[in-house]
Amino acid sequence: MSVTLTVNGSLLTLEAPPAARLLDVLRERLGLTGTKEGCGEGECGACTVLVDGVPVNSCLVALGQCAGREVTTVEGLGDAQHLTPLQEAMVTEGGAQCGICTPGMLLSAEALLREKPAPTDGEIREAIAGNVCRCTGYQRIVNAITEGARRREVRP
């Protein structure tokens, strides 16, 4: 059975089992290993991707449920040579340590900033409440998102 969907701007038709988790298809079929598996149960947010712009846990979504939809992974934000202002801020503000939560954090933050270009601390904390970080204590991530929002205004 084939499933057609858009991943990071490319329209793809995949011969893949539609009941498979989106997470496994992204990592194993498409090699998009930026998306991490943490708990596999929708608790940690490491596998967060955007489906039609909305953050979801890709471990809880079937590939078949994404037919005709647009999926954005961390690879769809920017690469090492062309970081987005948000990614840049995550680096300069020390928002990433071990890095496992970072792709999911970036996508939750990206979705927030698309909706609210200048979020409050409370809005940032709610947006990343489903993304667990065991290193930073979150404050630097919140700082990074605030700084990313500021830089986006200058260079969207």
Partner 1 sequence: MSVAGLALHPFTAPRNLPEALGLLAERAARNEKTVLLAGGTDWFVERHVAPPETEGTLPLVVDVSRLEGLRGVSLDGDTLRVGAGVTYLELRKDPRVVARGPLLAAMARDVGALQIQARGTLAGNLASGSPAADGVCALAALDATLLLRSVRGARRVPLSGFYTGYRKSVLAPDELIEAIEIALPPAGSPFAWRKVGTRQAQAISKVALAALAVVENGRAPASASAWPPSRRRWLSSPRRGRSGCRARSRRSPPPISSAPSSRTSPRSTTSARPPPTGATSPSRSSRGSSRGSRSGIFPAGAGLTPFGLRATGRLQWRLLRASE
DSSP codes, 15-54: ES-TTSBHHHIIIIIS--TTSPPSSSSSSS-TTEEEETTE
Q: What mask, x for binding partner 1 by CB under 8 A, covers residues 7 to 46?
A: ---------xxxxxx--x---------------xxxx-x-
The structure tokens 């598996």 sit at 37
Let me know how many helices (H) and strands (E) the chain has, helices first: 5, 5
91 in contact with partner 1 (CB under 8 A): no
Considering beta carbons, is residue 16 or 141 the nearer one to partner 1?
A: 16
Q: Using the rule CB under 8 A, is 72 a contact of partner 1?
A: no
**Least spacing, CB of residue 119 vs partner 1, in Å:** 13
Is 55 an interacting residue with respect to partner 1 (CB under 8 A)? yes
Nearer to partner 1, 40 or 78 (CB): 40
Please give the radius of gyration of the chain, using alpha carbons only, rounded to the nearest integer. Answer: 15
Nearest to 108 by CA among 140, 89, 85, 132: 132
Q: Which of 5, 32, 48, 144 binds partner 1 (CB under 8 A)?
A: 48
Beta-strand (E) ranges in 100-148? none
Residues that bind partner 1 (CB under 8 A): 1, 16-21, 24, 40-43, 45, 48, 51, 54-57, 59-62, 64-65, 67, 108, 111, 126-127, 129-131
